[in-house]
Amino acid sequence: MKKAVILLSGGLDSATVLAIAQAEGRACYALSFRYGQRHAAELAAASHIASALGAVQHLTLDLPLGSWGGSALTDNLEVPKDRSAQDLSAEIPITYVPARNTVFLSLALAWAEVLRATEIWIGVNALDYSGYPDCRPEFIKAFEEVARLGTRTGVEQSESIVIRAPLQFMSKADIIRAGLRLGVDFSWTHSCYDPPAPELHCGRCDACLLRKKGFDEAGVPDPTQYAE
Amino acid sequence: MKKAVILLSGGLDSATVLAIAQAEGRACYALSFRYGQRHAAELAAASHIASALGAVQHLTLDLPLGSWGGSALTDNLEVPKDRSAQDLSAEIPITYVPARNTVFLSLALAWAEVLRATEIWIGVNALDYSGYPDCRPEFIKAFEEVARLGTRTGVEQSESIVIRAPLQFMSKADIIRAGLRLGVDFSWTHSCYDPPAPELHCGRCDACLLRKKGFDEAGVPDPTQYAE
């Protein structure tokens, strides 16, 4: 049974990624981070998802990304609300956390090497996404090269660690349909950047707007409790 | 004044890197990690070096690399001693910490983005080194590509963050000569993987053997206190 490290944020995308990896028969090691995000409600969601979907192990690690701020998610900056689809695609928003996916992938790589896992799965998406540079396919390809060249596995074994990003070219609606087919209950998941209460989604940040639009376009009921 | 993040372990190589960056007129932000290493004496050395050489700021961050072990430096495995030059070049040793430089560079990248620094400096060396895959020039090149593609800086600005590795093709003796020329006092630095006491070097681990050989070949006095 192939081992895989799954980056699990507790959101809709990474829950679906875990379900896909399980369906492909992987032994899944889920990895989450307490990195100073204001929406730490997603970590409780990640634990629930990991156990509900049958991950072999789930680790939540502390990371010092809050040491330098630089993002509305880790700093005292306002999370943008009610942005239009046009706004969403115009520029890199203030919710971007500098180098976050590079940091997350690097720790997943370290764990994968120790586990002798051959895959890292990540829920990046290049269609219905917030415009973060570290969600783009070319970034994922570049990191795979780092994984090949910077590890024992890449040097000593024929098989180096690959990055699987199955949602890369799917719409949010397609991701929701795929998750539902594989038994994901999206009421377990948390997307909101600025939850007014742990169980609530604000309904107005970029993540909430993309989530709403996804359920809408998929034509399935949205189980999320939105404040507005 | 160009800002640069300098990875500073507290060893001989990274102290010389900081001195070179200072000599090239950079505003230096030094970064060290408490990652579960048994040779934490190097962190006190790093603080001393950062202030003695005039870094603008020095951060020491906690990293959870000890969560999964997998290395003699973070786990209860024995540090190899008295290995020959031939042993040193034969295979990747047990002191290799899985994906360590990828993790360190990724955090340096995050800080660099927030600081709007345009360089990350690292003391990797491909000649007198322990055979770690993440010290090789091709790895550094690959990470630079990740830095370009995975950051706001790389997308929005013409100048992306570059990785400077000035020791890459220098011998340990050359590094020592360069450091001395730039005012590094190597008694500040700590290299030993398995210090018998905080101020002592064991004199027998790979790091000590490379250090001794370096001073020997440079033909300058070695200020290190070795236990043996």
Residue B114 to residue A98, Cβ atoms within 8 A:
yes
If DSSP codes are grouped into helix, strand and coil, which group holds residue A189? coil
| pLDDT attached to residue A84 | 83
Name the token pair of B9: 């372990």
| Low-confidence residues of chain B: pLDDT under 70 | 89, 154, 157-158
Give pLDDT tens digits for B108-143. Answer: 999 999 999 999 999 999 887 778 889 999 999 999
Q: Which of B34, B100, B103, B120 best tests the A interface by mutation, with the highest count of A CBs <10 A?
A: B103
Nearest to A151 among B63, B67, B98 (CB): B98
Residue B224 makes CB contacts below 8 A (sequence gap 6+) with B186, B187, B191, B201, B211, B212, B215
Residue A152 to residue B63, Cβ atoms within 8 A:
no
* Residue ranges covered by each domain of chain B: 3-218
Residue B110 to residue A92, Cβ atoms within 8 A:
no
Q: Between these two residues, A162 and B69, which has the higher pLDDT value?
A: A162
Residue A61 to residue B62, Cβ atoms within 8 A:
no
Strands A3-7 and A27-34: parallel
Average pLDDT over residues A177-183: 98
Average pLDDT over residues A1-8: 96
| pLDDT attached to residue B158 | 67
Helix axes A41-53, A12-23, angle to 10 degrees: 20
Q: Decide: A140 and A122 in contact? Cβ < 8 Å.
A: yes
Residue B150 to residue A156, Cβ atoms within 8 A:
no
C-alpha distances in angstroms, B63 versus A128, B52, B57? 32, 25, 19
- Interface membership of A152 toward B (CB under 8 Å): yes
| pLDDT attached to residue A127 | 80
C-alpha distances in angstroms, A152 versus A172, A226, B87, B107? 36, 46, 17, 21
| pLDDT attached to residue A139 | 95
C-alpha distances in angstroms, B109 versus A98, B104, B122, B148? 8, 9, 12, 10
CA distance B154 to chain A (A): 8
Start-end of H helices in chain A: 12-23, 41-53, 85-90, 100-115, 137-149, 152-156, 172-181, 206-218
Contacts of A103 in chain B (CB under 8 A): 103, 106-107, 109-110
Minimal Cα distance from B96: which residue of A?
A152
| pLDDT attached to residue A158 | 67
Minimal Cα distance from B62: which residue of A?
A64
| pLDDT attached to residue A66 | 87
Give pLDDT tens digits for A22-45. Answer: 999 999 999 999 998 877 889 999
Residue B86 makes CB contacts below 8 A (sequence gap 6+) with none
- Interface membership of B139 toward A (CB under 8 Å): yes
CA distance A192 to A226: 9
Contacts of A133 in chain B (CB under 8 A): 149-152, 154-155
Give pLDDT tens digits for A73-91. Answer: 888 888 999 988 777 767 7
Contacts of B92 in chain A (CB under 8 A): 152, 155-156
Q: Does domain B3-218 have CATH number 2.102.10.10?
A: no
Contacts of B68 in chain A (CB under 8 A): 110-111, 114-115
- The rounded mean pLDDT for chain A is 93
Give pLDDT tens digits for A118-146. Answer: 999 999 998 877 788 899 999 999 999 99
What single string gives the DSSP state of each residue in A76-115?
Answer: S-PPPBS--HHHHHHS--TTPPTTHHHHHHHHHHHHHHHH
Residue B133 to residue A151, Cβ atoms within 8 A:
yes
| pLDDT attached to residue A102 | 97
Checking if the pLDDT of A114 tops 90, the result is: yes
Q: Which of residues 48-107 of A touch B (CB under 8 A)?
A: 59, 61-65, 67-70, 91-92, 96-103, 105-107
Cα–chain-centroid distance for residue B7?
Answer: 6
Terminal C-alpha separation, chain B:
45
CA angle A182, A140, A207 (to 5 degrees): 60
Residue A103 to residue B100, Cβ atoms within 8 A:
no
Give pLDDT tens digits for A199-208. Answer: 899 999 999 9
| Confidence at A157, pLDDT banded by 50, 70, 90 | low
